[in-house]
């Protein structure tokens, strides 16, 4: 293989790794997702008793030493460990055998919306309680948002392009879209791409409580995340990571790789409206969807499933509903839509990656996960949101939406591999 093999112009998914509140590993996660399993609980990772929100979707029973050596696992931020775990799972799933030549053409785009917030919290306490001489020299390296991708590249010796997208809750989808472009340009033959987040700590919870953005249903955490339901009262913070192996189509075929799906469409726009609130006219999210569908070379009627951003917020859910109507027209009432945040909460910078993985698996298996807790649909959210129970349907194309603070709108279109 030459140093820069000519790209085929097609990018496929050949490996998947996930760490989520309802399961680590693709098949465990997927089975629990289809079952509508609840991942929201009382917070155990930190003392949040003074806060108005005391619930979140934590990753249970996660052991960093399963993925890193003891010394590194002890000092590294949880957000990085999640990324390493997902990357290891994705690489194993892909069956790839790394050669020195391939390492030079294998890149990593893994982003985080917030970065190493646990290290930030811990070391800030050290600074003010014990003084500057006791601050860790690893504070900055393990806090910055590019380090999950940096550490993953170090773990595997991958010398291809390495970049961290930071677009808040659109991060995971952006990294996958940009990584696909890198392969199409010929910058790499293979990429690890996705998002990671671990912000369930005192300053993370306090900050979102101050913004009054989260559910306060502390007495009933299993019912707190309820996208599109009229009784929703805010999002539930989640944590985890999703990483996929992307590969040039010709390379994947030549090595006999297992192919899950193809990345065929990518669109993004900016609201240019407000630092946190989505614009209520929904024009820019709709344009992101339209651009993704156009870049896939299909019509809106080809879309069979939408994994919605669906955060369970009063403004966000009806606005996304409006965006789908603007972009899909009459087909919006025919397409099946669901929000897996109803089960795993809002994993912030990891959300777009995990939810892209949901689309990939829905295409593979011909079954779409449900929206949990959708008991009383909001009158302004009048589409088919697959309440409660997973639904079987043969699919050819799926759409994933991700919208982030700052007005970032990202949509991806995926195609079933046959």
User: Does pTM top 0.85 for this prediction?
Assistant: yes
pLDDT at 1 over 50: no
Rounded CA separation 6/4 (Å): 6
Please confirm, yes or no, whether 169 is among the known catalytic residues: yes
pLDDT digits (tens, 9 = 90+) for 229-246: 999 999 999 999 999 999
Tokens coding 112 = 């985080």
CATH code of the domain made up of 11-254 = 3.40.47.10
Q: Given this model, what pLDDT does residue 4 score?
A: 57
pLDDT at 5 over 70: no
pLDDT at 3 over 60: no
Query: What is the DSSP code (8-state) at residue 306?
Result: E
pLDDT digits (tens, 9 = 90+) for 261-283: 999 999 999 999 999 888 999 99
Q: Given this model, what pLDDT does residue 74 score?
A: 87
What residue spans define the domains of the chain?
Answer: 11-254, 267-416
Please confirm, yes or no, whether 223 is among the known catalytic residues: no
pLDDT digits (tens, 9 = 90+) for 85-102: 999 999 999 999 999 999
Catalytic residue among 309, 359, 381, 408: 309
**Mean pLDDT value of segment 128-145:** 96
Please confirm, yes or no, whether 273 is among the known catalytic residues: no
Catalytic residue among 209, 346, 359, 408: 346
Q: What residues contact 244, with CB distance under 8 A and at least 6 apart? A: 13, 15, 16, 17, 90, 176, 192, 193, 194, 353, 356, 357, 360
Catalytic residue among 33, 169, 359, 381: 169
Burial (CB < 10 A; 0-12, 13-18, 19+), residue 243, is buried
Rounded CA separation 155/388 (Å): 40
Tokens 């009432």, located at residue: 333
**Mean pLDDT value of segment 68-91:** 95
Of 339, 276, 330, 321, nearest to 303 by C-alpha is 330
pLDDT digits (tens, 9 = 90+) for 178-187: 999 999 999 9
Percent of the chain with pLDDT over 70: 99
Domains 11-254 and 267-416 share a fold: yes
Specify the fold of 267-416.
Peroxisomal Thiolase; Chain A, domain 1 (3.40.47)
pLDDT at 66 over 50: yes
């Amino acid at each position: 293989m030459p140093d820069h093999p000519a790209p085929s112009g097609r990018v496929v998914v050949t490996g998947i790794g996930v760490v989520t509140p309802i399961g680590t590993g693709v098949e465990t996660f997927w089975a629990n997702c289809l079952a509508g399993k609840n991942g929201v609980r009382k917070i155990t990772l930190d003392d949040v008793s003074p806060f108005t929100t005391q619930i979140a979707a934590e990753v249970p029973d996660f052991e960093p030493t399963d993925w890193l050596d003891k010394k590194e696992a002890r000092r590294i931020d949880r957000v990085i460990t999640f990324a390493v775990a997902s990357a290891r799972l994705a690489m194993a799933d892909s069956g790839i055998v790394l050669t020195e030549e391939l390492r030079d053409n294998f890149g990593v785009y893994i982003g985080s919306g917030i970065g190493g917030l646990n290290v930030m919290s811990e070391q800030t306490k050290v600074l003010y309680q014990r003084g500057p001489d006791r601050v860790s020299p690893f504070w900055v390296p393990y806090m910055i948002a590019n380090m999950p991708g940096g550490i993953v590249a170090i773990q595997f010796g991958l010398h291809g392009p390495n970049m961290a997208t930071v677009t808040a809750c659109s991060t995971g989808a952006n990294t996958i879209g940009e990584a696909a472009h890198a392969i199409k340009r010929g910058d790499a033959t293979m990429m690890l791409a996705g998002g990671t987040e671990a912000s369930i700590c005192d300053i993370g919870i306090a900050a979102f409580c101050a913004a009054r953005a989260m559910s306060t249903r502390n007495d009933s955490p299993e019912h707190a995340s309820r996208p599109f339901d009229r009784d929703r009262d805010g999002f539930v913070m989640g944590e985890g990571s999703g990483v996929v192996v992307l590969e040039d189509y010709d390379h994947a075929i030549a090595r006999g790789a297992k192919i899950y799906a193809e990345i065929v469409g990518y669109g993004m726009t900016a609201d240019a409206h407000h630092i946190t609130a989505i614009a209520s006219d929904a024009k820019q999210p709709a344009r992101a969807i339209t651009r993704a569908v156009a870049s896939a070379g299909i019509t809106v009627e080809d879309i069979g499933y939408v994994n919605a951003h669906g955060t369970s917020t009063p403004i966000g859910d009806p606005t996304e509903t409006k965006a789908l109507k603007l972009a899909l027209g009459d087909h919006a009432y025919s397409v099946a839509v669901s929000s897996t945040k109803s089960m795993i909460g809002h994993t912030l910078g990891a959300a777009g990656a995990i939810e892209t993985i949901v689309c990939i698996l829905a295409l593979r298996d011909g079954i779409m996960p449900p929206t949990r807790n959708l008991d009383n649909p909001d009158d302004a959210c009048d589409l088919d949101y697959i309440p409660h129970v997973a639904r079987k349907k043969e699919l050819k194309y799926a759409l994933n939406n991700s919208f982030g603070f700052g007005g970032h709108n990202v949509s991806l279109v995926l195609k079933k591999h046959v």
